[in-house]
Structure 1
Amino acid sequence: MNNYTNEANKINNKTNNISKITKAFQNKKAFIGFLTAGDPNKEKTVEYVLAMAEAGADIVEIGIPFSDPIAEGPVIQEANTRALSKNLNTDDVFDIVKEIRKKTDIPLAFLTYINPIFYYGYERFFKKCKEVDVNGIIIPDLPFEEKNEIKEITEKYYVDLISLIAPTSKDRIKMIAKESTGFIYLVSSMGVTGMRNKIKTDLKEIISEIRGVSNTPIAVGFGINTPEQVKKISQISEGAIVGSAIVKIIAEHGVNAKKPIIDYVSKMKKATK
C-alpha cells in the first residue's frame, strides 16, 4: 500500500476515518472527472456523476456554478452560464450530492470559488459538506497564503483542502506541497482550463521538486483530453484530471450524454493502467 501521509489524514486517522480522497490513490493511478452541477439540469448531473463512477472514474469533481469562474476556459464558462440561467444555487448542488450518495460512495470534491463559500458561510458550507459526504474542496482563487481563512474549518469537517501548484508557483512549490492534503492539483499549462494538443510544461521537474518534500498524490489537470495524454501523465504522476472534454460532451449531447460519457471515461481510465 502506498504510504501517503498528509495533514488531513493525520486528523482523520484519530477517528479511524481515512480520507476517501486518499483511498482513491492507493495501489492505482486515479482518473478524475469533472462536470458542472446543473448542466443540463439537476437530475442529469446526478445521472452523469453515476455514469462516470460506472465507467471507472476514481474521483469526481463537481463544479459549483459561479458567475466569474476566473480559472475556466470558454467550455466550462458556458456550462456555468447554462446552469445559472436555471437559477441553480448552492443548496441545489448539495441536493444533487444527496441524490448521488443514495447510489455511490465515490469520492467527491467540489470545485468552486471563495465568494460563493463566503456568501454561504464558511462554517455552514463545510458542515453541509460533511453531512452529504463531500470529501474535498478545490478553490482556484484562494491563494496559499490566505488558506488559513478556512483551513481550520475544513479540518474540523474532514474536507481535504486541495492545493493547486502551477508552472508559475516556482519558489512556492515546496511551501505549498509541504502542507498539501488529499492530492495536489498540478496545473499542466499556463492560462485557463480547456483542451490542448500538447502539454509543454516540464512536469517532471515540478513533480521532482514536490517529491522532495511531500508524498501527497499528484494529479495533473488543465488541457488533458486524450488517452495518450493520460497515459503519459500517469507514468509520472498518480492521476489525471479531465474537465473541459467531459463538459463539452454534455454540451453536445445534453440530456442524452450518459453513453458518450461512459464511453469516453472508460477509455481515459484504461489509459491510466
Structure 2
Amino acid sequence: MSSNELQPGSGTLYVVATPIGNLQDITHRALDVLAAVDWVAAEDTRHTRPLLQNFAINQNLISLHEHNESERSEQLLQRLLAGENGALVSDAGTPLINDPGYVLVKRLRQAGVAVVPVPGASAVITALSAAGLPTDRFTYEGFLPAKSSKRLQQLTLLVEEPRTLVFYESPHRLLDSLADMAQVFGEARQIVVARELSKQFEQFVSGEFHEVVEYFSANRDKVRGEFVLMVQGFEQTSQSSQQSDYDPLIKTLMKQKLPVKQISEIVADYFSVKKKAVYQRVLELKDA
C-alpha cells in the first residue's frame, strides 16, 4: 500500500516527543496535540499523567508497553479506523527510540492509518550536539547486552567503525560497560559520557577511556541518572597496523577462551597482517 492510500474516515496517530528532563522543552505543537486527541497511549501512565497535569491537560490515558504492545496495537487500530485520533508518548524523549511503539506504528501503516510525527527532544541528538565529537556521521547502538561476554562480542564488531558510536547505559552497568569498551577500543580512544541531560545536574565527562573510567570510579556519587555514551570512531592511518592497534581485539578473543592459533588467524585476517607476528603477540599477552 502506498503512502497515499489511507483508509477513508480513519483517524490519525500522532507520535509525540516529550521532554527528557526539563519540562520547558515541550513544544507548543505537542501540547496542542495532546490536548486535542481522543486518547494518549503512554509507556507508563503513572509517569505521563503528572506531565499532562502540569500543563492542565486532562486526558484519557491508555497503557502501551513492551509486554502488551501487540494486543494493544490491535485495539488502538480499531479505534483509529473508527475515526478517533490518538497520540503516542514514551516516558521521555521521542517514542520508538529504545521505547515501545514500533509494533503499533508498523501495524497502522500496514492498515492505511495516518501516522504523524510531532518532533521534539531526543537524548541521542541532545547529547551529540554538545559532545564535541564528529556528528556528520554517527551510529546509534542503543543499550549494550547486560552480560559482559555478549557485550564484548558486540563491541568487537564495532572496533573499526569510523562513525561516532552512541550508546545508552544504566547506572548499575556504567562502570562495567566502560571497562569492556576500554578493553575493546583501547584506553586511548576518546569518549564522552553525558548524564542527566537537560536536568539540574547535567554533566559531560570527556577524555580518553582510562581518564573517564578513573573519574567515575573515584566519583561513585555521579554514577546515577541516565547516561549517553559517545565514542570516537576508528581512525584509519596510512601506516601498517601496530601491536597497539590489535591488542584490544586479541584481549577480547582471549577472554572468550579461544585457542591461540584461532585468535591469530582471526586478528591477522581482520588487520591484514602476518599471522606469525600476531601469534607471537598473542603468546606475549597470554604470558603477561
TM tier, smaller:
under 0.3
More helix by share: 1
Give the number of the structure whose alpha-carbon radius of gyration is greater.
Answer: 2
* Higher normalized strand content (fraction of residues): 2
TM-score (norm 2): 0.24
